[in-house]
Amino acid sequence: MHTFLGFIVALGPLIFVHELGHFIFAKLFGVRVLKFSLGFGPKVFGKRFGETEYVLSAIPLGGYVKMFGENPDEQDVDPAERAVSFAHKSVGQRFGIVFAGPLFNFLFTLLVFFFMFLIAGVPEIKDTTRIGQVIEGSPAASAGLQDNDVILEINGALTEKWLDVLEGVRDSNGEVVAMVVLRDNEEMSFSVTPQLEDVKNIFGEVEGQRYRVGIAPAEGFNYVSTGPVGAMKNAAMQTWAYVDMTVMGLVKLIQGVIPMSELGGPILIAKIAGQQMEAGLINLMYFMGLLSVNLGILNLLPIPVLDGGHLMFLTIESIRRKPMEERAQIIAQQIGIALLGTLMILVFYNDIF
């Protein structure tokens, strides 16, 4: 139940915000919007207000805004209606309407983090020497260290923060380290021999080597109020960090650093959304922010059918001073549909197996 509810709560607003961007800019530039749909497939609910039909469809994996005159075969319209036709707007206006969807996804992430940081405060990691995890089979585990032990000394030097622990192990050069820890209000001494291990980034690439004993700090955060300016600054930093991570992830995928088997689809999203919902509202907000950035960037890829494909066509049109031939656009869109279909099959396969 949490999985399904988490999927709807996490993905639904992101789809709505994306399509709302297209809708608002279409209205701003005077384009007639025929339909605003959340979801694809059979109509579950629909209501017409003015010239637009608002629809809730059965398959909640996306949405669309249907505009008058947006298809290549609809460009020959009655002269009296050219003022409300998408095809008869300037290249800049059409570019703005298409780009608005991904843009609203980035703005949504920024606003989510702004209000979260404004209300709850900006999280800062609690600096502690308490061990949160002892990795099985590590030197620390062999020496007898346990979760929740508090490291007091390393080789006679007091440890007041986790950086002291890291430096004490690093500077050992592989020689035996004498640790004093506090366990159940009793001081205990241990001898641990660090091992030289590869240091990997989040994409699994080796960036160097460092002496380690196989322990991780206990997780914990203090939430610090920074006011509206501080909240916006930190929200912008967090949003940019997600953008950078997503773009680098795509680059590593193309380079083959990340295998295609790591790609996930709707089933994986639903599973993670359910887990984050159970973990708490803040966890869910972070996941929604990451998902919204992913949705924005993926839609900007220059693949026909996606927003990025339309932006590519408009860029070519602005350079050539005339639209691409209708047949070329149709062929490109067919290729785009084939690519997306193949990708969907792949991610569903990964999700299931």
Catalytic residues: 19
- Longest Cα separation, the chain: 88
Task: Report the distance separating Cα 96 and Cα 11, nearest Å.
Answer: 24
Tokens 């062999």 belong to which residue? Answer: 142
User: Which whole-number Å values give the CA distances from 260 to 185, 256, 273, in the listed order?
Assistant: 49, 8, 22
- CA 62-111-280 angle, to 5 degrees, is 80
Buried b (16+ CB within 10 A) or exposed e, 223-247: eeeeeeeebbebbeebbeebbeebe
Distance, first Cα to last Cα, the chain? 21
Quote the crossing angle between the two packed helices 227-255 and 281-299, to the nearest 10°. Answer: 50
Q: How many CA atoms lie within 13 A of 66 on its CB side?
A: 13
| Phi–psi pair at 338, nearest 5 degrees | -65, -40
